[in-house]
Amino acid sequence: MFPLQRDRRLRTNESIRSLVRETHLTPNDFMFPMFIAEGKNFQVEIPSMPGIFRRSLDLTVKEVKELWDLGIKAVNIYVKVDDKLKDNTGKEAWNKNGLMQDAIRAIKDAVPGMIVMPDVALDPYSIYGHDGIIEKGQIINDATNDALVKMAVSHAEAGADFVAPSDMMDGRVLAIRKALEQNGHHNVGIMSYSAKYASSFYGPFREALDSAPVDLNDVPKDKKTYQMDYANRIEAIREALHDVEEGADIVMVKPGIAYLDIVREIKNAVNVPVSVYQVSGEYAMVKAAAERGWLDHDKIMIEQLHCIKRAGADIISTYFAKEAAVILNR
């Protein structure tokens, strides 16, 4: 009771503030999302994501080495697939000599300690830009799961440490876990995108991979029949619990900053690590505001990352990982 308890005593200077600080952020908390393209010595900046590039595999490996030197120990990788390889089945996704599989091998050969988590979803491989196979104007769940299983097993065979299903099909975690076990990949983990919302924050990402849903009469206009309604909270807890029961080793919430209530709810509900994806739109907003002088870029970046961790994130997948690691390492 005042004046016996004056809370400001613990805020007097930076030394005491750092001593009693509840949340600590280090490069160990980060996973860096990477976009990979065909070619050699090739890179192109994503217009809506300053500082983020689609890179050929040789330059990707070079960047992975830089990440490792900064203390970042995990990458979440995505590939830009040539249009001629796309169809409605996604069969290129489990090509053992495909770009994703080559990328996994190259990264693990170059930096064996780097944790590689390839994305498992059909949208980069789909002529329709959807995460699943389309029949009669609808995304069909079980046939899509069969394709995702083939994709995940091919990633494991290429050397992935974890597979990361981001598709939001029902039952896909169990199907993938069973297939990994049956094929001897007992130590390959699953990081499931458990609470992935149908968000408008994904725009720059879809530009990076050319994976937005196409505008055709017989194709769903958006992903709302499988990604979650952003108005829902309890559903996210249920999704996460289902995925843990099905064998997920890590569960993910996506997006990040606008969904910190969900992060805390899921952290309180599950007994596995919780990952949070600070997505492309969240990154782009900070970059745009900072370019106009409206925000202090570095201060906002570090504050947001602290807030994500404070909410309960064990792992933060963020495009800010490199920049933040440089600051934190100082």
Residue 76 in tokens:
């979440």
Torsion of CA 67, 76, 299, 6, to 10 degrees: -110
Residue 144 amino acid letter: T
Alpha-carbon span 130 to 119, nearest angstrom = 14
Taking each continuous run of H as one helix and of E as one strand, the counts in the chain are 11, 12
Residues marked as catalytic? 196, 254
Alpha-carbon span 27 to 66, nearest angstrom = 13
**Under 8 Å between Cβ of 90 and 127:** no
Alpha-carbon span 45 to 54, nearest angstrom = 6
Q: DSSP assignment of 134-174, as one string?
A: EETTEEEHHHHHHHHHHHHHHHHHHT-SEEEE-S--TTHHH
